[in-house]
Amino acid sequence: MRKIISLICFLLPVLAFAAPSDTPPELRSDAPDQHVVIKGDTLWDISKKFFKDPWKWPYIWGLNKETIKDPHWIYPGDVIILDRETKTLFFGRGGASNVIKLSPKTRISRSTHDAIPSIPASVIGPFLSQPLVIEEDSLKDAPTLIGAREGRVILGARDIGFVKGMVEEMGTKWQIYRPGKTSFIDPDSGEKLGVEAIYLGSAEVTEFSTISTIIITSSVQEINQGDRLVPAASAPPNIYLPRAPGVPVSARIISVYGGVSQAGQNTLVTLNKGSRDGLENGHVLALLRKGEDISYQREKFTLPDENYGMLFVFRVFDKVSYALVMQTHLPVQLLDRAKNP
């Protein structure tokens, strides 16, 4: 058992709290008087019930920061009450029938497993521990699957394989990749940003040697002779503080995951900006469509850019980032802009 302070807020990184804005988020005209958290909710979904900008949950912490020092998850059964006179939200436990005005309170919870996530974990989960972007030729010197017994060249789960170039100091857990055909090129500068690697599965070393022995513990595609192995990476903690970037960001969508040309809600997209450009996990960006060129009475005009949706950055590499389309009322297209909201 451990104490967990419940608050309407995204889970914040340890020692990385950001000061909430003093400007109240704009409430929706159809915001409910209250909401009781249920299993399956996400903080983003809940915030959309009350705010026009659903990522501004840190404002709630600002209302209670003198009492709440360690914002954490909210849980099924927690209650959110809207005070329409002051246009503020209050947080508490139990039903509205026995609560008039609520304030944050410490409560006991068995674990964080029942906590409400910030964004749909099932959508981004598979992409948190797999290094999707690699530098050009970075797999060239990685350990290589040279084959299996009986001349087999295609392997799957539970098969035994043999690998050259294994380093015992890197541990027994490995992931298997194949360089992809998708090369990320910056559409503005022409710079090569990296290559999207194809994740094939995972393996465990059963014996280290000049030719090491592995067992394929899982596979999502056929694993072939010549595929490369890298040490398994731990998934980064699912810790996000939703916020606008602290520096101006103007990114372009250079890829839609799955090789398609358009994306919708809960689709993953790749941006041509990364940590070197100031992007971090949890940054929220507005989606912009370039205004059309039109003619009127023999004059040419460019219509204003259209703000049509929102991205949530959840994995950042040096030169590129992956983001989840959280909301959109238009198809997200390649080369659309993503900027500070």
Domain ranges of the chain: 2-122, 129-231, 250-339
Q: What pLDDT is recorded for position 12?
A: 34
**Which residues, at least 6 apart from 155, have a Cβ–Cβ distance to it below 8 Å?**
145, 148, 161, 216, 219, 222, 223, 224
Query: 3-state class of 43 per DSSP?
Result: helix
**For position 334, what pLDDT does the model report?**
93
Q: What is the pLDDT along the chain (341 residues), one digit of tens a residue?
A: 333 333 333 333 333 333 444 566 788 888 898 888 888 777 778 778 888 887 876 666 556 555 444 445 567 777 777 878 777 777 665 444 444 444 555 444 434 456 666 677 777 777 776 767 887 778 888 999 999 988 888 999 999 999 999 999 999 999 999 988 778 999 999 999 998 888 899 999 999 999 999 999 999 899 999 999 999 876 555 556 778 899 999 999 999 987 778 888 888 999 999 999 999 988 999 999 988 889 998 899 999 889 999 999 998 999 999 999 998 999 999 999 999 99
Instruction: Say how far apart CA 232 and CA 224 lie, in whole Å.
Output: 19
Residue of 320, 249, 258, 321 whose CA lies nearest to 285? 249
66 conformational bin, left if phi > 0, alpha if psi -120 to 50, beta if neither = alpha
CA 228, 231, 236, 237 torsion-angle sign: positive
- Whole-number pLDDT of residue 312: 92
> Which residue, chain included where needed, has tokens 């980032």?
321
Whole-number pLDDT of residue 116: 66
Q: pTM higher than 0.75, yes or no? A: no
pLDDT of residue 236: 56
The CATH superfamily holding the domain 250-339 is FlgT, C-terminal domain (2.40.10.410)
